[in-house]
Amino acid sequence: MRWDPRLAGMLQLMGAALRPPPGKGRVALALGMGIVTHLAFAGGVLAMMIAMFNGMSATFGRIPQPWAWGVNALLILQFPLVHSLLLTRRGGRWLTRLIPGPHGGTLATTTYALIAALQLLALFTLWTPSGIVWWRAEGMVFWLIVTTYGLAWLMLTKASFDAGVEVQSGALGWMSLLARIKPRFPDMPTQGLFRVIRQPIYVAFALTLWTVPVWTPDQLLLAISYTAYCLLAPRLKERRFAARYCERFARYKNAVPYALPRLHRRGEDHNAQ
């Protein structure tokens, strides 16, 4: 079994966090942000799983028509727009100012994850259903689709761990503050699912959109919109990787396809330093 250096770094960070030095205000802030962020994260993911499983027909929004479609469109747009904006330099500076005091920079990744979680909660709880159901799977077809839906979520979970779960979940910021150390981001991901395609998180997310047992106009609108986001948004991410990792990322990009696996692997070593 190969030892993953990212896992070693995560365990080191957890060990340091469990032995926090004195500083009640810092500790309370770190733990408070951690608890709120992870609860919101769990709630957002659970709301997403349930809402899409039901074709966006079991949500709490009750905006009257025809205004409902406009509000729903805004709910769709707010996630990719804010999510991408906060990854810019200006967005990063804004993130550091959201937490007053000297710890905003350390907590930036946690704040980012918290905002994303609240966005997901808003989208998948405040959506106003159209009330139209086109198709609902039954019998063996239902169980086949449910199995595929579960596998897509497992793939998304696996890809998130491969990319660095401490960053994806928002744990990096609050655990670093608790341990009084500078946040240390994981290295460029090239292992696990990242050996097969460069964007497994976005591909897995797209798969969850299309493997649901209930189809409605609502689900179709969501699936089309966010599949386009999953195909286009990683281009911005790869620009940042190209600037940060330079030739190393260029070799990796040349060796590993963007979203669809190759039938025959190339011989290049994309992990070369």
Rounded to a whole number, what is the distance in angstroms from the first to the last CA of the chain? 22
**Cβ(99)–Cβ(32) below 8 Å:** no
How many angstroms separate the CA atoms of 171 and 224, rounded? 31
What size, in residues, is the chain? 273
Q: Which residues of 205-230 are buried (b: 16+ CB within 10 A; e: fewer)?
A: bbbbbbbbbbbbbbbebbbebbbebb
**Mean pLDDT along residues 246-260:** 93
**37, 73, 54, 48: which is closest to 169 by C-alpha?**
37
Per-residue pLDDT at 142 exceeds 50: yes
How many angstroms separate the CA atoms of 31 and 189, rounded? 28
Model pLDDT, residue 20? 45
**Cβ(136)–Cβ(213) below 8 Å:** yes
Per-residue pLDDT at 7 exceeds 80: no
Selected residue with higher pLDDT from 83 and 151:
151
In the chain, what are the domain boundaries? 5-255
Strand locations in 79-205, DSSP E? 135-136
**Mean pLDDT along residues 132-144:** 97
At 152, the amino acid letter reads A
| pLDDT band with cut points at 50, 70 and 90 for residue 23 | low
Model pLDDT, residue 265? 58
Model pLDDT, residue 5? 59
Per-residue pLDDT at 211 exceeds 60: yes
Query: Residue 200 phi/psi, 5° resolution?
Result: -70, -30
Question: With 0-12 CB in 10 A as exposed, 13-18 as middle and 19+ as buried, what is 165?
Answer: middle
Per-residue pLDDT at 194 exceeds 90: yes
Question: With 0-12 CB in 10 A as exposed, 13-18 as middle and 19+ as buried, what is 246?
Answer: exposed
Other Cβ atoms closer than 10 A to 117: 23
Per-residue pLDDT at 246 exceeds 50: yes
| pLDDT band with cut points at 50, 70 and 90 for residue 1 | very low
**Cβ(268)–Cβ(254) below 8 Å:** yes
Give the bridge partners for 135, in sequence order: 215
Selected residue with higher pLDDT from 270 and 135:
135
